[in-house]
């Protein structure tokens, strides 16, 4: 299959499709691509990797070092900031054990989503308002802008750290296997989209997913802080309830409405119009569809919880996702954590109750 020249985009943004148009046009484009692929197979895949994948060993090394840096930084922040803060605020023991993880994720996702929002709305990139433009003027091995490359480095290294954290640092939960799969799929998407220079659509994917994680961790933190020091704090309870509502709405709007109608439509249908015979079309779309299914899987938890609230089945809730398998961890750090925290300091010196069911791993 000979690669065709990229096609420049139309003069104005293309209107966002409906779900029916997404299914009809996306399915039609996928069938046409499958029928037109006369030499599909491992041979074509190997040639595609050799011709179109551009990922230097120093970039992989930088990604690995970044993952180690995130792990060290989290251990240091937990031991020297989050746990002392929980003790100073006199959180309840189980809340104090959960707070460091939520605080860590809240700070990261707030920063990463803010940066993605800046790229999409504070620069000249048109990807949000015109998603098909992510493939306009695409060429193999094209230069990645430094601002987008920085976002990829931060996100890729963080999800590399998150795989390790899920296995060895976080509490094992009922859906931890799904969360681990989520992190693996996300890391593969980040690395491969960078290598094949699909970084424009990658920034849009990250923006549409990180906002839900910001709201989730914000809600959880307010749940932990609303009962502290032997008293009940109504401001934190109100913030938790508002965060809960905002989280549920944003999950549907960003991940189940905008994500398929902006990202999947662009990758399944518009990509073949801009770049006929685009490399690894089926591979990337399969991963994005898997990501969509996982978003739908976690959304079912939200719907099930809302149904229990509306029918009066739920009154005082517990964090079932977080603690249905393991009990709260002790506030006392392990020797391994203390060692990692101490080494990380040296390393960096050198160089409401209703929302308690609404927990998930984030993209």
Residue 210: its pLDDT value, please? 95
Q: Please determine, for residue 127, whether its predicted confidence score (pLDDT) is greater than 70.
A: yes
328 located within any domain: no
Interatomic CA distance for residues 212 and 250, integer angstroms: 6
The SS3 of residue 227 is strand
* H or E, element range at 228: strand 227-228
In a domain, 142, yes or no: yes
Of the listed ranges 74-88, 236-250, 347-361, the least confidently predicted one is: 347-361
For residues 118-136, average pLDDT: 95
Question: Is 34 contained in some domain?
Answer: no
In a domain, 285, yes or no: yes
Domain containing 228 equals 53-311
Kindly state whether residue 15 falls inside one of the protein's structural domains: no
Question: What does the pLDDT average to over 120-149?
Answer: 94
Query: Does 20 reside within a domain?
Result: no
Res. 1 pLDDT band, cuts 50 70 90: very low
Domain count, the chain: 1
Rounded (5°) CA angle 299-22-296: 10
Q: Is 33 a domain residue?
A: no
| Residue-level pLDDT at 11 | 62
Q: Which of 59-68, 193-202, 336-345 has the lowest mean pLDDT?
A: 336-345
Work out the pLDDT band at 244, boundaries 50, 70, 90: confident
- pLDDT at position 245: 87
The string of DSSP codes covering 76-141 is HHIIIIIHHHHHHTTB-HHHHHHHHHHHHHHHHHHHHHHHHHHHHHSSS--TTT-GGGGGTT--TT
The whole-number pLDDT of residue 333 equals: 45
pTM, to two decimals: 0.81
- 125: how many CB neighbours lie within 10 A of its CB? 19
Residue 302 scores a pLDDT above 90: no
pLDDT value at 295 more than 60: yes
- Dihedral of CA atoms 313, 315, 317, 321 in degrees, nearest 10, equals 20
| 278 is a domain residue | yes
């Amino acid at each position: 299959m000979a690669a065709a020249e990229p096609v420049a985009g139309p003069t104005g943004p293309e209107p966002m499709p409906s779900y029916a148009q997404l299914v009809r046009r996306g399915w039609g484009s996928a069938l046409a691509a499958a029928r037109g692929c006369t030499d599909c197979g491992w041979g074509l895949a190997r040639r595609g990797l050799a011709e179109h994948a551009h990922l230097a060993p120093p970039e992989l090394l930088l990604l690995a070092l970044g993952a180690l840096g995130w792990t060290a930084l989290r251990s240091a922040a937990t031991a020297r900031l989050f746990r002392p803060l929980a003790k100073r605020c006199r959180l309840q023991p189980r809340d104090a054990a959960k707070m460091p993880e939520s605080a860590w994720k809240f700070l990261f996702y707030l920063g990463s989503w803010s940066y993605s929002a800046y790229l999409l709305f504070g620069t000249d990139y048109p990807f949000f308002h015109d998603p098909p433009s992510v493939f306009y003027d695409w060429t193999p091995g094209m230069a990645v802008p430094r601002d987008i490359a920085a976002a990829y480095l931060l996100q890729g290294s963080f999800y590399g750290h998150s795989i390790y954290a899920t296995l060895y640092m976080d509490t094992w939960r009922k859906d931890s296997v799904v969360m681990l799969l989520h992190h693996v799929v996300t890391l593969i998407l980040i690395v491969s989209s960078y290598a094949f220079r699909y970084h424009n659509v990658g920034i849009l994917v990250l923006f549409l997913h990180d906002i839900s994680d910001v709201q989730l961790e914000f809600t959880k933190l307010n749940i932990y802080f609303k009962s502290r020091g032997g008293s009940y704090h109504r401001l934190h309870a109100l913030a938790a309830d508002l965060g809960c509502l905002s989280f549920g709405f944003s999950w549907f709007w960003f991940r189940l409405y905008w994500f398929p109608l902006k990202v999947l439509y662009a990758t399944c249908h518009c990509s073949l119009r801009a770049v006929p015979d685009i490399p690894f079309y089926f591979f990337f779309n399969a991963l994005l569809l898997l990501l969509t299914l996982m978003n739908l899987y976690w959304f079912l938890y939200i719907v099930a919880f809302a149904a229990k609230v509306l029918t009066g089945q739920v009154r005082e809730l517990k964090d079932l996702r977080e603690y249905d398998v393991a009990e709260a961890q002790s506030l006392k750090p392990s020797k391994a954590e203390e060692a990692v925290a101490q080494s990380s300091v040296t390393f960096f010196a050198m160089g409401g109750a209703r929302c308690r069911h609404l927990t998930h791993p984030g993209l």
